[in-house]
Structure 1
Amino acid sequence: MLWRILLIVFFLASPKFGWAAESFGRIVIDPGHGGYDPGAIRKGVAEKDINLEIAKEIKKILMEKKVACLLTREGDYNHAVVGLHGKEAKRYDFERRIEMAKGFNADAMISIHVNVSRRKSSGPETFYLPKDTISKLLAENIQKELHEIPGINQRQIKTGRYYLLTHTEIPCVIVETGFINNPEERQKLLKPQYRQKISEAIARGILDYLQDKNRETLLKNLQKKVS
């Protein structure tokens, strides 16, 4: 009995040991909006462009860490078909993105957006579906890393019932990387150096989540073997 306990403690103390697989995990990064749907626009700056730049950088970072990644869009387009308009087009676009995540057999989906508020707010925040404990863990990991960016306004994670969150079966969060209506934050989001910091923080949060997930899976398999 003692050796079983010692073995489990060893794996807990060595989170990077035991899963040197071909892929550390599978993640879908969703750059919100695109094409005819620009998202929020302020002073000629479109949300869709910022979303895509950050999403591409997150993918690059994760792939260097042996995480398989898929972007739901690689350029300035969305997935709505010709002839659809308004909410119908938006719903169709969402469904295609959700199908992509499902077909990719992803461990999680992270949707990148830029926020807007009536007041002058600042700082990134992460949303998850209420009572979804796994997505909450992902949101917490990402938000914790975002808080490490020097001088950033440390907002807290929030719950939401957005279409992507309510209709995606895998763990899913929405990261609002800043407020485009805030002139100072808008200028920061236009700078590659700042977007890099945001991207690195989100990527670290995703890696933390995957590490926790892999450790939990490893321990469950280990307990089965030693029982």
Structure 2
Amino acid sequence: MNTKALLCAAAAATLLAAAPAPRAAAGSPASPASDTPRYERALPTAEVLIDAGHGGIDGGAHYGSVLEKDINLQVAKRLYLVLRSQGIPAVLNRTGDYALSDENRWHPSRSRHQRDLSQRRGLTDEIAVQLLVSLHVNWSRRPSASGPLVLHQEEGRSALLAAFLQDALNREYGSRRLPKVGKPYYLLNLVKRPAVIVELGFLSSPADRAKLTDPRWQQRLAEAVAAGIRQYLWTAG
């Protein structure tokens, strides 16, 4: 396994930690999670790997010039800052617009997509990760499809994490979705730790798209995901 990308990501993440967390503009609605005080009692030790989906040549879902990979990364960076500010160790697997497949020199597959996925999975074995949260944006041919969706493994801890994340995101969106088992997804099938895929909203929905591209809403989504992770750590720890 090539560790160069991991070391670069760790160094970049350290720099991110020094940056101030974005603040909502004056008069904007505050996220419930933003007013949550830090717990006085220490959380169980945990390492959260934040997987910013897609990147580089792989833009993911798109609407015009709006690319999923950019939204994933923007929310991932905010989530990293929120978790670290709350004393929860976290690692980002990419801090810029590049494909993780470029760093994979160990997987023999000629498929860039396969190398990308195996690189993401491999990092969960290479560092002391206790759970994986993979951030994505959904798409549907139906413009009416909207809201967040959390996919989980057929495993109790993953299902519990997904339930907390789904509940926190539902509160932000005012939705009532339930998490689902993500049977066909590579990461959920092969990662040996509790893992979830968080679909933050539908890029195909005008209402969701307005939220996903709004820095204030990106912050709210990051705080909601952090709240779900925190609740899981308290419950499972």
TM-score by length of 1: 0.80
Matched pairs, number:
194
Q: 2:146 aligns with which of 122, 134, 141?
A: 122
What is the correspondence of 1:32-181 to structure 2 with a 5 Å cutoff? Answer: 32-81=53-102, 88-120=111-143, 121-129=145-153, 131-149=154-172, 151-161=173-183, 162-181=185-204
Classify the secondary structure of the residue corresponding to 2:151.
Answer: strand
CA-atom RMSD, angstroms? 2.2
Offset from partner CA, 1:81-118 (integer Å, 9 cap, x none): 3999x981111111111121222211100000000012
Report the Cα distance in structure 1 between the residues aligned to 2:207 and 2:236, rounded to whole angstroms.
37
Residues 20 and 194 of structure 1: is their aligned pair in 2 closer, same or farther, counting only changes over 3 Å?
A: closer
TM-score by length of 2: 0.76
Classify the secondary structure of the residue corresponding to 1:146.
Answer: helix
Q: Which structure 1 residue ranges, 5 or more long, are not aligned?
A: 1-15, 215-227
Q: Which structure 2 residue ranges, 5 or more long, are not aligned?
A: 1-38
Residues 87 and 139 of structure 1: is their aligned pair in 2 closer, same or farther, counting only changes over 3 Å?
A: farther
Aligned amino acid, residue 208 of structure 2: E
Kept after mapping to 2: 8 A contact 1:24/1:66: no
Report the Cα distance in structure 1 between the residues aligned to 2:49 and 2:110, rounded to whole angstroms.
23
Kept after mapping to 2: 8 A contact 1:111/1:175: yes
Question: Larger C-alpha radius of gyration, 1 or 2?
Answer: 1
Is the counterpart of residue 205 in structure 1 residue 228 in structure 2? Answer: yes
Deviation, 1:39, is 0.1
Q: Percent identity among equivalent residues?
A: 36
Residues 159 and 25 of structure 1: is their aligned pair in 2 closer, same or farther, counting only changes over 3 Å?
A: same
Aligned amino acid, residue 123 of structure 1: G
Report the Cα distance in structure 2 between the residues aligned to 1:72 and 1:112, rounded to whole angstroms.
11
Report the Cα distance in structure 2 between the residues aligned to 1:32 and 1:191, rounded to whole angstroms.
18
Aligned amino acid, residue 20 of structure 1: A
